[in-house]
Structure 1
Amino acid sequence: MLNRRQALGGAVGAAAMAGGAGPALAQSADGALRRLLDGMVQRGASGAERAAALAAFPDLHRLSANARLDYDAVLQASKIEAAFARRFPFGAGPGAPYAVTTRAGSWLKAADAIKASGNAPLTLARKLDAETDRVRADAADHGVVPPAFVIDKVLAGLTAAAGAAPADLAGALARQGEALASLRAKAGSGAGLGRFSWGREYYALVLKQNLGTAIDPEEAHRRGLAAVQTFGARAARLLDQRGIAAGPLGDRFAALARDPRWLYADDETGRDRLVADMNVWLDKAKARLPKSFAATPSGTLTARISRMSRADEAAARQGYRDAPSFDGRRTGIYYVDLADIRRRPSWTLPSVVHHEAVPGHMLQIPLEEGAGAHPLRARLACPGFLEGWAIYAEQLADEEGAFQDDPLAELGYLQWMLFRAGRLVVDTGLHVKGWTRQRAEAWFARVQGPPPVFAPIAQDVERAAIGPGGVAGQGLAWLEIVRIREAARRRPDFDPRSFHADLLLPGTLPFATQWRRLLA
């Protein structure tokens, strides 16, 4: 097991000693930086404000190695955020070009405000009117209009909410609906940022924001397609061996998913059996940890899969986790979504274990805690890294032989990887290649079949349309980890355990920094 001293040691600790800063001096400078970063969080400082304050920090040369990583990562991310504000002063913030969508805007809180007592409806009405003014100004000043299909869905939601709202709130909902309806004709038929003259520049910047390094959007699309081709060819061979050889890959996965031999009973016994099976896979994953990790946080070893409460299952709550602490005092639990258990074939579950638990989130999250990185760095440095690591963890489990004697579980893994890579292709397809929503949905269905997540394909496409670069950043982070590893593997002294330690122990960092650190 790994203690906190070990987590903060190694390359990071050695770099601090090499810098020549004595403990008291480094602690003084480190403390000043932490107070500065804490203040930024408390004030809600903008990217430009953070960048200016960091540029004026007087004790840069006296920071410890780990504090310097905080400084450099937050500064880089703040500069990117400041560039967004300068170049694209519209929408709901960096990476969110539309102020009101199916996933953003005060209208989504209307039902809660209606139920609340006091001035909640009136307060929400004022927020709605402010957002309506923003929608009109964004359209007038920058030509920013959400996709037509998004406007249609928001209009339906606004109408439904207004029907049950008191007068002031109903009026604000109606005014927002009128503003969006007046803009619909300007939305065009596209779903991506290619509708706008600034779209390509915006998309390149949002990818840089998510990764902490620049990447050409066309190259991002090519990487996604290459991954789909690799995993798709492998899946096709396995499906051929099972005698499911006709039609597009998605149709073949759908045929396998309907086979009742691999479905759990829709009752208490079936749910308990599913969770027990997942914990068997989790125990095997823990046993493999020494293959790729020199030591493991105590918290990681506490990870378990559990059923949700009956109330959560009845409410069809999606899967969620309680992440373990570094020291294991807080155990890690992943609560699996079993509301529609007949859509959870047994062969799709092992990869969920590797992604959500070990060696995925329940290894990376406690290590992030143990690294002592400032929370602002963890949030800003590379937003795509957390999911990117968990996707990489799925691939790592496969490379370690997790599915060597279980071709069905291997097919489940491959479908998940097609889903991960497919999201990247859909995101870049919409915003870089000019794909329509219909084309994106049809392509995704041909590639992966029934989604392994409990969300329709249309929902994933909508998410990519209104949040450009988000899921693409996750997929690219996974592929970037692989690219760095393969470059490091060419060295004669490469050791996967050392590589993973060097990647994870300092905490989340921009990939531009990771390339320099890991291949210096």
Structure 2
Amino acid sequence: MKKSLSFCFVLFILVSCKQETENKSDLIKEKFNTLLYNFSKDSYELYPEKATNAGIDGYNDEYPNSLSDEFNNKVKACYTKYKNELFAIPDSLLNDTEKMSKSVLLWECDINLEALTFQKKIMPIDQIWSANLDFNQWASGTTSQPFNTVEDYNNWLKRVDAYLVWLVSAKANMKKGIQTGYVLPKSLIEKVIPQFEVLVIGDVENNLYYSPVNLFPDSFTQEERDKLTKAYKNMVANKIIPAHAEMVTFLKDEYLPAGVEDFGIAASTPLGDRYYSHQIKKYTTTNMTADEIHQLGLNEVARIRSEMNAIKEKVEFKGDLNAFFDYVRTNKDLMPFRERSQVIAFYDSIHNEMKPQLDKLFGKQPKTPFEVRRTEPFREKSAAANYNSGSLDGTRPGIFYTPIPDVETYNVFDKEDLFLHEAIPGHHFQVSLAQENEELPAFRKTLWYSAYGEGWALYTERMGEELGLYKDPYQYFGMLSSEIHRAIRLVVDTGLHTKGWTREQAIQYSLENEAEEEASIISEIERYMANPGQALSYKIGQLKLIELRERAIKALGDKFDIREFHNQVLETGCIPLQLLENKIDNWIAVNK
């Protein structure tokens, strides 16, 4: 009888302990999910522009002064708080998706806290990456800033006022930069000035910021139209034009004369080598050194040149590879368009050509709609083709923008791979599938790591033949041209910022190794000068994805399923490369 009672008591204790453990686990999971929810909410409050781009209402009238000390203190407090809270969550009580979310958020906290240790905010404006250019895109009324209701139109007026506060801070910070040595190279400042001038010249009705007036919904009453028209005229005439005119004067009279002659971030500013190392880590999500990346670039350029030579011989071109570059750049047969609408139709035809093959390579495909559009004229001359993601709810489509400043010189030799990269199955698949994945916490649906996102897009360019494209050898050469372009980036970006290369030296190296036009190459080199390290992300990410695919094929043999491999990669959303590698290795181990 005593033994029976003892056994029951022990069993009771075991059951109670198990129940206590399960309750504790549930509480930890609830705490963790609350943490992730709060981080998403706090990040939208810090960066309301992210909410707008994701199609989340409630933030469309806000624009923080990200150049202020107050804002930086808020950012530091936010990431420090969540980093500390994450350390209190034991991995043992989390499932695989939750562990991944914890690891990603820790990375996000660390890289953002590290960024705050540099005085980059006193160099706030450049020709391609700065906040004013993103804000100008909203002003067109055709992107993610909504203009569907009277409230939407009033929200934009409030947001413009907040943006003008940012612009005043930008000018003040640039003045500090002149005094302390944080100034752009002259060649970049010369590209910035026209971007502000275009918002000063011409009639109010033709100003970019007046554009939403031409987009009034039919539901607006005449009284509402008249009131908003008056408000927008006042905003353009008395706020936008004077503020940008003032910036033009400052840029011409003060900033340009102070512009530096050096071209690398370490040599030309006090940011130094440590900042470039930070940028490498930020954009490649690796611990690679500049020297390792430089040598990898040299090796890749040599490999791809060999493949390009094979195409040159296939089309029976007489001359060396550099002569073939010139031939491709200037071949009028590769510039067939006379109307911009023909360019859009050309991309639609690429999409239709590969649709039958997509099911063979992708088990999951996005529901978010997709469109091809011409890049807005105000930024067309200095912009590259790009993708703007759809809204989280799928009501706003993903958009592939292509600049067509001169339709008669629009060369198609590299445009099939461009569509794969910027559109389908590149950025549109990667971004939309992450946004549509209900298992991901909200913050991971809009997170962006360039090594993953751009690496995936470049990886898809190599899939052209699998998708029924590159039947024309010139299109395959175009894919190689795009790939060598990214390999060249590894060489020239590290060359500019760690090896003392000049702008002209970097331009010449590019001209000797790719078929891009000189004007385009100059814009590219100046892009690397403005944002060190970003250009490294494409090739580093692509090579890691190729490595992981080959590793899986070798390990799994007949069990390898390309559709499932792509599912494994895409279902995670953007994550650092080491976390992706760990995930694929685990998938291989389970299936082996």
In the other structure, the counterpart of 2:176 is: 137
Distance across 1 between alignment mates of 2:420 and 2:200: 44
Shift of 1:206: 1.0
Does residue 82 of structure 1 match 2:93? no
Does residue 476 of structure 1 match 2:540? yes
Which of 459, 463, 466 is residue 523 of structure 2 equivalent to?
459
Distance across 2 between alignment mates of 1:271 and 1:423: 27
Cα deviation, 1:65-99, whole Å, max 9, x if unaligned, reads 3233222212212112212212x1x123xxxx722
In the other structure, the counterpart of 1:256 is: 328
In the other structure, the counterpart of 1:510 is: 576
Which of 79, 88, 93 is residue 50 of structure 1 equivalent to?
79
Do the aligned partners of residues 236 and 191 (structure 1) sit closer, same or farther apart at CA in structure 2, a change above 3 Å counting?
same
Which of 359, 362, 366 is residue 432 of structure 2 equivalent to?
366
In the other structure, the counterpart of 1:352 is: 418
Cα deviation, 1:340-368, whole Å, max 9, x if unaligned, reads 34334444332123223333223212221
Amino acid in the other structure paired with 2:575:
L
Structure 2 matches for 1:128-277, cutoff 5 A? 128-138=167-177, 140=179, 143-154=181-192, 169=243, 174-175=249-250, 177-181=252-256, 183-184=258-259, 187-196=260-269, 198-249=271-322, 251-267=323-339, 270-271=342-343, 274-275=346-347, 277=349
Amino acid in the other structure paired with 1:205:
H
In the other structure, the counterpart of 2:492 is: 426
Distance across 2 between alignment mates of 1:33 and 1:119: 31
Aligned length: 480
Please say if residues 528 and 534 of structure 2, whose CA atoms lie closer than 8 Å, have aligned partners that are also in contact.
yes
Distance across 2 between alignment mates of 1:364 and 1:124: 31
Please say if residues 366 and 436 of structure 2, whose CA atoms lie closer than 8 Å, have aligned partners that are also in contact.
no
Which residues of structure 1 form unaligned runs of 5+? 1-18
Distance across 2 between alignment mates of 1:332 and 1:129: 33
Shift of 1:468: 0.9
Do the aligned partners of residues 156 and 265 (structure 1) sit closer, same or farther apart at CA in structure 2, a change above 3 Å counting?
closer
Distance across 1 between alignment mates of 2:357 and 2:198: 52
Larger radius of gyration: 2
**Local SS of the residue matching 2:115:** helix
Does residue 282 of structure 1 match 2:354? yes
Distance across 2 between alignment mates of 1:123 and 1:313: 22
Does residue 297 of structure 1 match 2:365? yes
Shift of 1:437: 1.0
In the other structure, the counterpart of 1:72 is: 103
Cα deviation, 1:297-340, whole Å, max 9, x if unaligned, reads 2528x76x65659x979978975657578998876664655553
Which of 509, 522, 529 is residue 443 of structure 1 equivalent to?
509
Distance across 2 between alignment mates of 1:246 and 1:219: 33
Please say if residues 37 and 441 of structure 2, whose CA atoms lie closer than 8 Å, have aligned partners that are also in contact.
no
Distance across 2 between alignment mates of 1:123 and 1:288: 44
Shift of 1:371: 3.1
Distance across 2 between alignment mates of 1:47 and 1:377: 20
Q: TM-score, length-normalised on structure 1?
A: 0.76
Cα deviation, 1:41-84, whole Å, max 9, x if unaligned, reads 14425255313323224545544432332222122121122122
Distance across 1 between alignment mates of 2:135 and 2:575: 34
Cα deviation, 1:252-298, whole Å, max 9, x if unaligned, reads 13313443444424148855762453234332xx41542x44x1225
Please say if residues 312 and 321 of structure 2, whose CA atoms lie closer than 8 Å, have aligned partners that are also in contact.
no
Please say if residues 298 and 327 of structure 1, whose CA atoms lie closer than 8 Å, have aligned partners that are also in contact.
no
Distance across 2 between alignment mates of 1:204 and 1:382: 16
Distance across 2 between alignment mates of 1:404 and 1:135: 47
Amino acid in the other structure paired with 2:328:
L
**Local SS of the residue matching 2:513:** helix
Distance across 1 between alignment mates of 2:189 and 2:354: 43
Please say if residues 357 and 467 of structure 2, whose CA atoms lie closer than 8 Å, have aligned partners that are also in contact.
no
Q: TM-score, length-normalised on structure 2?
A: 0.68
**Local SS of the residue matching 1:40:** helix
Distance across 2 between alignment mates of 1:21 and 1:448: 61
Which of 123, 126, 132 is residue 101 of structure 1 equivalent to?
126
| Identical amino acids, percent of aligned pairs | 19
